[in-house]
């Protein structure tokens, strides 16, 4: 692991680091905010998964999460959204390839050699973070935006017991029935739709639910709302009688202005579970 940068931030440190990834077979970059409390021992950790076209940097500089994480003594991890570099497959479209990993393990060529983002985020990066920084692996929560909201919800439901809480901003909620999903899932996982089900938050909610609380915010003026399909996830949450809230926020769109507007609510939501012994 190599340090790219470290900056003082709200009493803590915002760092950026690179490392050689076994899962993705390339170098990967991530951001990590450590609050001041990490100087005295391990702190709880909140994962933030970003959306299409993003890198580790978008949420790190736009979401305003560090201020609230510092208030509650919580670490923030900002993974990248895909493998990158020479020899890594890509596509001319913004919503496939580099910047659009969809948090799955690709089984299809040309994606399978590098696009193992599920293993990277769920297994490899947590081991690197806990081995090198003062974070408490027993106290973890996860959140994300758009494609990252899809990733956060699916990981929380697939990895029961790993995360104490999960939240999402405008998640891609039903990708098996959306153009933001069917295109990518068929490219990465093949045409067998049975293989897609474990990466659809609405299907997982009906089948499994989540063993903790959920918070979802969706902007009513989101320009992509028909692709996101929040109504399908809302129906699944009601059918499951899930402990959770899905809030429609009047006038907000899909941008980081929306994310930053409700970040304080989300960090406070996670802090309640992360500091519960």
Is 254 catalytic? The answer is: yes
Determine contact, residues 71/265, Cβ cutoff 8 Å.
no
How many other C-beta atoms lie within 10 A of the C-beta of residue 3?
9
Helix, strand, coil percentages (3-state) for the chain, rounded to 5, are 40, 25, 35
8-state DSSP, 82 = S
DSSP 8-state code for residue 42: -
Q: What is the distance between the alpha carbons of residues 44 and 140, in angstroms, rounded to a whole number?
A: 6
Active site residue 146: yes
- Six-digit token string for 30: 């991530």
Of the CA atoms within 13 Å of residue 206, those in its CB half-sphere come to 13
Sheet containing strand 26-34, edge to edge, reads 2-9, 12-21, 26-34, 75-79, 43-49, 135-145, 166-169, 214-219, 244-249
Catalytic residue among 56, 254, 266, 270: 254
Q: Residue 104 to residues 2, 152, 196: CA-CA distances in angstroms?
A: 26, 12, 10
Which one, of 100, 148, 180, lies nearest residue 266 by Cα?
A: 148
> Does the annotation mark 222 as catalytic?
yes
Pick the catalytic residue from 146, 167, 178, 202.
Answer: 146
- Alpha carbon 218 to chain centroid distance? 16
d(CA 158, CA 5): 33
Report, in angstroms and rounded to the nearest whole number, the Rg of the chain calculated over CA atoms. Answer: 17
User: What is the set of active-site residues?
Assistant: 146, 222, 254
């Amino acid at each position: 692991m190599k340090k790219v940068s470290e900056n003082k931030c709200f009493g803590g440190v915002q760092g950026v680091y690179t490392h050689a990834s076994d899962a993705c077979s390339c170098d990967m970059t991530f951001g990590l905010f450590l609050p001041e409390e990490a100087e005295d021992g391990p702190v709880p950790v909140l994962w933030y998964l970003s959306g299409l076209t993003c890198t580790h940097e978008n949420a790190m500089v736009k979401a305003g999460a560090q201020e609230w994480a510092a208030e509650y003594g919580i670490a923030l991890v900002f993974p990248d959204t895909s493998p990158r570099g020479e020899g890594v497959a890509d596509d001319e479209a913004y919503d496939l390839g580099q910047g659009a990993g969809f948090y799955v393990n690709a089984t299809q060529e040309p994606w399978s050699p590098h696009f193992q983002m599920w293993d990277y985020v769920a297994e490899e990066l947590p081991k690197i973070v806990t081995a090198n920084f003062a974070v408490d692996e027993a106290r973890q929560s996860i959140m994300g935006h758009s494609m990252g909201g899809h990733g956060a919800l699916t990981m929380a439901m697939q990895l029961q017991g790993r995360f104490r809480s999960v939240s999402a901003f405008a998640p891609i909620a039903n990708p098996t029935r959306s153009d933001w999903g069917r295109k990518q899932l068929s490219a990465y996982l093949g045409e067998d739709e049975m293989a897609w089900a474990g990466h659809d938050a609405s299907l997982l909610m009906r089948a499994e639910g989540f063993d903790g609380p959920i918070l979802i915010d969706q902007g009513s003026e989101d320009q992509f709302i028909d692709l996101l399909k929040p109504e399908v996830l809302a129906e699944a949450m009601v059918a499951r009688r899930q402990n959770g809230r899905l809030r429609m926020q009047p006038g907000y769109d899909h941008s980081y202005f929306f994310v930053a507007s409700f970040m304080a609510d989300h960090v406070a939501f996670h802090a309640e579970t992360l500091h519960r012994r």
